[in-house]
Structure formats: structure tokens, C-alpha cells
Amino acid sequence: MTQTIKRHAPEASTYTPNVDILEHDAGLTLLMDVPGTDSVDVEVQKGVLHLNAQVEVAEGREGFEPLFTEYSPKSYSRSFTLPEDVDEEKIAATIKEGVLRLELPKAEEAKPRRIEVKSD
Amino acid sequence: MSTKSLFANRLFKPLEEFERLHREFDRLFSADPTLKVRRHGLPALNAWVSEDSAVVESEIPGIKTEDLDISVHGRRLTITGKRESEEGNYLRRERESGEFRRQIELPFAVNAETVEASYDNGVLKVNLPRAESDKPRAIPINHAD
């Protein structure tokens, strides 16, 4: 019997890492798991946030045989459309213990501003 | 994905939300299948062995080393720990938190005193030298003529 259904196995060279997004009064906090690296490219282009990180992958270990391999480190890549009220200039990023933390503050303009009405 | 997030956005544009949902589903179903191991809460391990030692690695980002416990008994390595999650209002939650435990059986006994572990950039690396008592020894064969 011939196999007519082909399983889609993308030859992906990157992982889509897990992300948590928290909302608070001042804006959003984004947490992304990027173990194995301490530098991430954070770029905003036309309202889209691009996160990319390269991970060094050891081809093998001299003198060692693999006993079991449950994961294979790859580079990370993920993008998000930013909500319109995020102040792109004020995005702050830190990385610690393989976790990227982005603070996405809300723009001042997004907060309601009272306009004074002057009467003559 | 909570419905709360649809309405929390002050500029609620129905068509854009549907497009966004469509993209999220695309992303979900095209994710690398090996990610499933991580999604089930057990940290994935890689292990290598040589004649004299074993090396075990695991990707567990965002852990405090005081929340991590590595113990060795004979051939068995046990790694237990927990990852705390942040308090707050989550719009999206994909990262696992809570307690985890992994136990693996090595091909030889290990001396607990010589085991070394390091944690860098969220990667735990454990170096386990083979116990002297478990190293192969040549046995002389008495041969009677």
C-alpha cells in the first residue's frame, strides 16, 4: 500500500520559543525562554517586534557518544505585532538565566489627556 | 488565548483580530514537534558518555539555583527543581512553571563527590566522572596445564 499522505516535516532551523505576555497599567511585559544564549536581537519594524537569537550548537563531543538526545538546540525566532499604544522608543530589554524580558510601555498619548478649553 | 485579550485592546478591529487568530493557529501548528517534550513540563535532557565520564545537559531557563537539586546514587542521577511564575495579568501564557523531576540511569556508577554542575544562560550542565570502583579491570585468568 503506497503512502499517499506525506507528513509535513519542516526543515526548520529555528525554534519558536515560548512566551508569556503580562499586562499592567504601565504597559506590557514579555518574557521569552531563550536558554543557551545571552544576546538577543530585538528589532521593531513597522509595528512588528522581531526577536532573534543565535545559539551555538556543538556538533558532537570529542571522545563522547550520545546516550540520549531529547532536544536539539537551535536558534530562536519569533515575531509579534505590537499593539498601537506601545511606545516603541521606550522598549527595554534584559536577559538573565536564558530568559529575555521586554518591557513595552504604553505611550503617553494613549493615556487620556485632558484638553483645556479656553473661553474668551 | 483568552477572550479577555480581544476586548482589552482599546482599538478593537474585528477583522484584524481574526487575522491575528489565523496567524496564531498557523504558528501553533507549524511549531517544531520536538517542542512537545518541553510543553509537557519535563525538562528535556541530553546525555553523552565516554569511557570515564558522563555529561548531562538540560535547558531550564529562569531557575534560581537554590530551587535546583541534583543528587546521585550509584548509577542514578536525579534532578529536581521548580520554576516560579510571575504574578500578574496574563494575556498569553506558554511558559511552564511549577515543580519538575527527572531521573536517569547511567551506564556506570558515579562518585557523588566528583560530580560537578554548572548553570549558565539557563542551561544546566552536569559532569559525572565514572566511579573508580566501576571501572573495568583486567582479570587475570589462571590457566592450569
Task: Compare CB distances from B30 to A10, A65, A69 and report the shortest one's residue.
Answer: A10
Structural domains in chain B?
1-30 (no CATH), 43-134 (2.60.40.790)
- Helix (DSSP H) and strand (DSSP E) numbers for chain A: 0, 9
pLDDT in tens, A70-119: 888 888 999 999 988 899 889 999 999 999 999 999 987 666 667 788 88
The pTM score is 0.72
For chain A, what is the mean pLDDT?
83
Confidence of residue B46 (pLDDT cuts 50, 70, 90): very high
A chain contacts of residue B32, beta-carbon cutoff 8 Å: 10, 12, 15-16, 74
Predicted local distance difference test score (pLDDT) of residue A119 = 83
What is the domain partition of chain A in residue ranges?
14-55+74-109
A chain contacts of residue B89, beta-carbon cutoff 8 Å: 22-24
B62 φ/ψ sector (left φ>0, alpha ψ -120 to 50, else beta): left
pLDDT higher than threshold 70 for residue B51: yes
Cell 521548580, residue located? B82
Measured at the alpha carbon of residue B122, what is the angle toward residues B75 and A31, in degrees to the nearest 5? Answer: 140
The hierarchical CATH code for the domain A14-55+74-109 is 2.60.40.790
- ipTM given for this complex: 0.76
**Range B114-127 average pLDDT:** 95
Q: Confirm if B49 and B103 have CB atoms less than 8 A apart.
A: no
Instruction: For chain A, say whether B35 makes contact (Cβ under 8 Å).
Output: yes
